[in-house]
Amino acid sequence: MLIGCAAGLCNAQNPPSASPLLRLSLADAVKLGLKQNPTRLIASILQQESDRTRDVARSALLPQANLVGRGLYAQFNLQSVFKSPPLPAGPYQVGEGGAAVTQSIFDALLLRRYQISREGARTAHYQDLLAREDVTQIVVQQYLLVLRAIADRDAVRARVALAQRLYDQAVQLEKTGIGTRIDTTRSQVELLNERQLLIDAETSTRTSKYSLAEILDLGRDQELELTDALRFSNLPTFDRAAVIAGALATRPEMKTIISQQRIALLSRKQASEQRLPRLTFEAAWSGQGEHASEVLPAYSYQLDLTIPIYTGGRISATISQAKLEEQRFLEQRHSVEAMVIREVKVALDELEAARQAVDVANHGKALADDEVAQADRRFNAGVSTNIEIITAQDELARASDNQIEALFRFNQSRANLARAEGQIESTYTR
């Protein structure tokens, strides 16, 4: 019977199962980020807390009912009331039990408090939308960075294959006497350079996936495979004025600041309404008696009217404070509007520049491919050395990098425009 295992032997015989490969499109990654990202979850919790605060404020406007019970054992000296010889009353005991109801009939402060908490719930909802937009932008940006790393790696792999073919060709030409030793050496150096670049590209691909996994809050051993690629698509012409107007109406930042302005307005009204009277109704029904067999019904009805007369300047100071809060949010709104307009303009300009850059980069890549092909034919024909091929390979590497960078900038600019419009989640989840 086997009692134990040598160190590492059991694990070697029963290796831990590897996490299945997770294939993610960009839309899947965004949905997963919105579901699992800690920043998004915290915003959702804050929204739920704000909803509960609204419910608490609303409850103060509704009737409050309680069951009450009381036991009393006391003795009084009636001489404290009647000027006569000592007239003790008691000791005696009384038991009482019943129901009590309280209802606010008119209290402007409670009503404003509920309105403020209700608007606060809207603010929390807009802030949750803002968190969703921010998380979506982070996920999209990191996904695109991984795609760029993958494109770089694949491009370097293609250049390694080309360099290997040209090196093998140089070796063969040297054996036949057409090529020279220096041609072979040049080809080998270029091959080694491309292999070094491939090592860096593969490392960059892995590390960029780690960052994406962190954003998506995946397991520590989860492996990722991205199903999308950097693509170019023709976009419609944008009306700058219409895009700006839409962004000002849609952006969660604008909705948040407008909601906060409403809260400031309600707070100012609440401060001024502290001078209004408050009217409260209370009622109680109970049974009273010294013994259970002697219980008699008892009841009371009460109206409380409170009118503030002098508050030591508290109300005036509160009103002034609320007015300053309104002014602060007004200035913040102007600042947010300016930020939104700037972001939309920048995103539109960058998208147009990126679109033009893609056309230029594609043309440059096609010319570089043709240059390599021509240099290869000239070298095989023996009319030139492979210096032309090495030079063409370097130009191809630069053209390939330019093409990948242009595609990345186009996709990133498109995402930036969607974020500037306040529609990045809807753009990348449908």
User: What does the pLDDT look like over 77-86, one tens digit per residue?
Assistant: 666 666 666 5
Residue 253 CA to residue 49 CA, distance in Å, equals 20
pLDDT at 13 over 50: no
pLDDT at 94 over 80: no
Pairing of strands 64-77, 88-106: antiparallel
Residue 244 CA to residue 253 CA, distance in Å, equals 14
pLDDT at 56 over 60: yes
pLDDT at 3: 37
pLDDT at 185 over 60: yes
pLDDT at 1 over 70: no
pLDDT at 169: 85
Residue 20 CA to residue 24 CA, distance in Å, equals 12
pLDDT at 101: 81
Helix (H) or strand (E) holding 66: strand 64-77
pLDDT at 430 over 60: yes
Return the half-sphere exposure (C-beta side, CA atoms, 13 A cut-off) of residue 330: 7
User: What does the pLDDT look like over 287-343, one tens digit per residue?
Assistant: 777 777 777 888 788 888 888 888 778 888 888 888 898 889 899 999 999 999 999
Pairing of strands 296-306, 223-226: unpaired
Contacts of 143 (CB under 8 A, 6+ apart): 24, 26, 29, 212, 226, 228
pLDDT at 85: 61
CATH number for the segment(s) 21-72+108-277+314-429: 1.20.1600.10
pLDDT at 6: 36
pLDDT above 70 as % of the chain: 90
Tokens of 270: 């609440």
pLDDT at 321: 86
pLDDT at 86: 59
Is residue 57 within 8 Å of 31, Cβ to Cβ? no
User: What does the pLDDT look like over 199-253, one tens digit per residue?
Assistant: 999 999 999 999 999 988 888 888 888 898 888 888 788 889 999 999 999 999 9
Please state the pTM of the whole predicted model. 0.77
CA-angle at 178, arms to 176 and 181, nearest 5°: 90
Domain boundaries, the chain: 21-72+108-277+314-429
